[in-house]
Amino acid sequence: MNRPVPPEVLRATILAGTIAAKPERPSELPPAWSDTPEPGWAERDLLALAPPPSTAAAPAPVQVPDGMTVHEFGVGELQAAYAQGVTDPVATIEALIARIEAHPTGANAVLAMIAGAETAAKESAERIARGQGRPLEGIPFGVKDIIDVAGAPVTGGSFLPGERVAESDALVVSRLRAQGAIPLAMLATTEFACGSAHNPRYGAVLNPWDRSRWTGGSSTGSGAMLAARLLPLALGTDTGGSIRVPSAFCGICGMKPTRGLVPRTGVIPLSWTLDHIGPMARSVDDLRRVIPFIAGPDGVDPTAAGGYAAERAVSDLGGVRIGVPEGWLVEMQDEAVLSAWGEALAVFEKLGARLVPVDLGDIATAHADGYLILMSELASLQEPVLERIAEFDAGARARIEQGLVFTAADYLRALRRRPLVIRRMLQALDGVDVLVTPGLGGEAAFLEDMTVEVNRTRHPLQMIIPRNTMIFDYAGLPALMLPSGTGRTGLPVAIQIVGKPYDDALCLSLGSLFQDVTEHHRRAPADPTVT
């Protein structure tokens, strides 16, 4: 049983490493009478790079592995099992519901089952039997509790919305439904995707690899459910790392798309500047089977543009140049994480890639600017309910209160620096095709004191987990997290593949090629339902 963590510890650990000291000279920005950047230029520049939609070829069909049970199937295996008559959507939904009810992760990662799943499974089974199955026919998926699902309770992991029930689907959910996928469960999140691990309404989500550790957040339930083999697919959101952090800690795969590739319509906002929506699964191939169907503008989200550029994927690594970072992105990393990263780079090199050193320049300032934007926008979004601030969890409250301290000049400076950082990063990446970084600095965080251990020293978790993630939310670049091995105690560690804007397909194809010759993504935690 995990003991309650004192509020002062939650407050301290969630702010650690995210607030920069005020410099004597507050900005290196050019003066107003020169070509000085405006707050909206970053979004403008990213939109200008948006490619038209293209047709994405699905990964090659897979064979149903011998000896696997339905709950172990990923998206590709389920599609093959349906095609070969090994199982059908009705049996799959029944098996997953039974497993969710029996598994301890089901008890703390699932907030509510979504009505209508059994009916949808019957319809999917009939379509498949008639040979009229849609691309994702009968694939169950989970939904993070800030993404609306019609008729389901969506509370943002907070007491404040009460018993709110969503009136309609978020766009990402409706797009998956249109391809035959079936929403099965609403999954846990930290409060409004920004609070501490110890959610005041629903409690902490325990990591299936070690129940004294955290899953990482804020897509806590999505990470846990996939690791525990309770679902083959889940939706998450990422503002400072919230898809990629639980992916790394839980040994699964998560894609933060290019900013604007997947519309945010119907998702409770945390930061309108930094929010991203994306899929999580157990293999990169499964992500590739899903993301083309959720990409593209909807005419509502003003930042949504372009399409999934499938033609940018590669089928081999001959001639591919992989950027190897220096400085910030390899500092504060456990030796076991760096060792797994080095071994992964060697795999890429053996497959034909060329490794190229890359210096991205000052990341510390951009990291702090990202959190300044996040907390300022969070405070603005929660301003209508500030009289109820005592009802927030200590972590969310700390971030809201800090957001109220920042000045308008602080906020606008962080926004104005953003296009300059994006340009600098793209110039640094000009000589490479992708960047491959270590994932997170250590294995999963300890729930007892909200720390991450790096080289046998514990650090407040927020000093470690977003170091290599926030910068790519701030810059809007696509970033894929995938398992790369194990740490000192046998828990998963990860690498991150980062691309240029709208190079999502390229990142995913590199991840698939890596997983074709490695087995890290096939590892699973011990199954407590097996005696």
Residue 211 CA, chain-centre distance (Å), reads 21
**Counting beta carbons within 10 angstroms of the beta carbon of residue 350, is it exposed (0 to 12), middle (13 to 18) or buried (19 or more)?**
exposed
Q: Which of 124, 196, 218, 283 is catalytic?
A: 218
* Residue carrying the six token digits 């696997």: 68
C-beta neighbour count of 195 within 10 angstroms: 28
Q: Which residues pair with 446 in a beta bridge?
A: 213, 451
Q: E-strand spans in 188-291?
A: 206-207, 210-214, 233-238, 253-256, 276-281
Q: Which of 196, 222, 242, 283 is catalytic?
A: 242
Cβ atoms of residues 488 and 336 within 8 Å: yes
Helix (H, G, I), strand (E, B) or coil at 188: coil
Task: Say which amino acid occupies 192.
Answer: F
144 is catalytic: yes
Two structure tokens written together for 393: 């969890």
**Counting beta carbons within 10 angstroms of the beta carbon of residue 38, is it exposed (0 to 12), middle (13 to 18) or buried (19 or more)?**
exposed
C-beta neighbour count of 102 within 10 angstroms: 12
Going from the C-alpha of 115 to that of each of 141, 220, 454, 501, the distances in angstroms are: 13, 22, 43, 37
Q: Is beta strand 233-238 parallel, antiparallel or unpaired with respect to 206-207?
A: unpaired
Two structure tokens written together for 50: 């948006």
Q: Which of 114, 189, 110, 122 is nearest to 151 (CA)?
A: 114
Q: Which of 124, 144, 174, 484 is catalytic?
A: 144
34 is catalytic: no
* Residue carrying the six token digits 């093959």: 80
Peptide bond into 218 cis (omega under 30): yes
Task: Say which amino acid occupies 144.
Answer: K
- Number of H helices and E strands in the chain, helices first, is 17, 15
158 is catalytic: no
Q: E-strand spans in 66-139?
A: 110-113
What phi and psi values does residue 160 have, to the nearest 5 degrees? -60, -40
- Active-site residues, by number, are 144, 218, 242
